[in-house]
Amino acid sequence: MTLSFMSPTRGPEVGYLFPGQGAQAVGMGRQLFNESSAAREVFQQVDESLGRGLTDIMFNGPEETLRQTVNAQPAIMAVSLACIKAMEEKLGPDAMPRPVVTAGHSLGEYTALAVAGVLEVGDTAKLVQRRGELMQEACDKNPGTMAAILGLDEMTLEEIARETGTYVSNINTAEQIVISGDNIAVARACDLATARGARKAIPLRVGGAFHSGLMAPAKVGLLDAIDKIEFHEPEIPIIGNCTGEPLTTAESVKQELVSQVCSCVQWKRSIDYMVGSGVQSFIEVGPGKTLSGMVKRISREADIKSVGDIESILSLSRN
């Protein structure tokens, strides 16, 4: 199955955004499965490609199983892609907002690749699952954690990271930056951040120090997995996590995916780039509304909608 948006955009230029790990919730996607044959086809293809019943875990849990990286990542991707197909089915070609650009937060970048025509749905599922397996192996080898720091600027946190041996892993907004590293180093960094004026330092419930040097063991295996899959040239630009700039060739996409494992997610830079390029409207596609909140904090002028179920899909045609 392929996803394609070759028709021209209608109305204000639209950017599609796709969530990353942490957006998962037991029961997500069930309504899409029940009420959209096109969405159901996505879920069935993902199960077939992975050779297991991921949708059963997604719909029925338990939560601890769904939260595991190897399940959460392909499950979130599957819901987002099912949403896209339900949008096509329910809205039709005349009302379907056509993106001129797309981006995904961490894991969501893989979803963006499928929407941009770079990867087939089945290959996306296999690659995302393999990424999850490799990241879990890296976490087991190099245990670590992450923390969200609120109210400190990027430069100050870069200094704290150098002093503590931690990493700046996600620059989500100007006021929300995530650090990672081993447990002791992150705890020390949180103390330093608080001492230097951070409004809050919030430990995150994650399985490891994602987007840091501790994930390096995953890179070789991911490169091998990428080499086994056919990548197509993007039909629309994808804004890369590592640079916050467009990926317009299959080769640049491959390089991005390998670099992304250990590199900082430049989400604020990505949204700033799209807004600066003329994107006036964003649609967050998939479970949760985390990215919508970030966009509102990055750009007050940007219009942002969240689409995760049939009602929110139908509401697009009423706006």
135 falls within a domain: yes
Q: Mean pLDDT, the chain, as a whole number? A: 94
Q: Does 238 share its domain with 114?
A: yes
6 falls in which pLDDT band (50, 70, 90)?
very low
Query: What CATH number is given to the structural domain containing 229?
Result: 3.40.366.10
Q: Does 255 share its domain with 270?
A: yes
Q: Does 60 share its domain with 187?
A: no
Find the domain containing 231 and state its range.
Answer: 14-140+216-316
Answer yes or no: is pLDDT of 9 > 80. Answer: no
9 falls within a domain: no
Per-residue pLDDT, 8: 46
Answer yes or no: is pLDDT of 146 > 90. Answer: yes
Per-residue pLDDT, 94: 80
Q: Does 123 share its domain with 157?
A: no
211 falls within a domain: no
Q: Give the strand pairing for 145-150 and 200-203.
A: antiparallel
123 falls within a domain: yes
Q: Does 21 share its domain with 157?
A: no
148 falls within a domain: yes
Q: Does 152 share its domain with 133?
A: no
Sequence-ordered list of residues with C-beta below 8 angstroms from that of 136, at least 6 positions apart, any chain: 68, 69, 70, 207, 208
Q: Does 85 share its domain with 188?
A: no
Angle at 313 between CA 308 and CA 318, to 5 degrees: 145
Per-residue pLDDT, 200: 97
Q: How many CB atoms lie within 10 A of CB 317?
A: 14
Sequence-ordered list of residues with C-beta below 8 angstroms from that of 67, at least 6 positions apart, any chain: 24
Active site positions, annotated: 106, 211
Per-residue pLDDT, 317: 82
Among residues 203, 228, 246, which one ends one of the domains? 203
- At 197, list the tokens: 């004026």
74 falls within a domain: yes
Among residues 158, 174, 203, which one ends one of the domains? 203
Place of tokens 């770079």: 118
Query: What average pLDDT score do residues 283-291 get?
Result: 96
Q: Does 153 share its domain with 256?
A: no
161 falls in which pLDDT band (50, 70, 90)?
very high
303 falls within a domain: yes
Q: Give the strand pairing for 167-173 and 145-150.
A: unpaired
Q: Does 96 share its domain with 232?
A: yes
Query: What average pLDDT score do residues 123-145 get?
Result: 96
Place of tokens 């996306």: 124
Among residues 176, 203, 230, which one ends one of the domains? 203
Higher pLDDT: 95 or 190? It is 190
Give how many domains the chain has, as a whole number: 2
Q: Does 101 share its domain with 170?
A: no
**228 DSSP 8-state letter:** T
Per-residue pLDDT, 248: 95
Q: Does 253 share its domain with 308?
A: yes
5 falls within a domain: no
Residue type, 228: K
| Crossing angle of the two packed helices 267-276 and 290-298, in degrees rounded to 10 | 60
Which of 58-62, 184-188, 204-208, 267-271 is predicted with the least confidence, judged by mean pLDDT?
204-208
Q: Which tens digits make up the pLDDT trace of 221-261?
A: 999 999 999 999 999 999 999 999 999 999 999 999 999 99
Q: Does 267 share its domain with 195?
A: no
12 falls in which pLDDT band (50, 70, 90)?
low
Query: What average pLDDT score do residues 86-112 get?
Result: 94
Output the DSSP codes for 3-37.
----SPP-SS-EEEEE--TT---TTTTHHHHHH-H
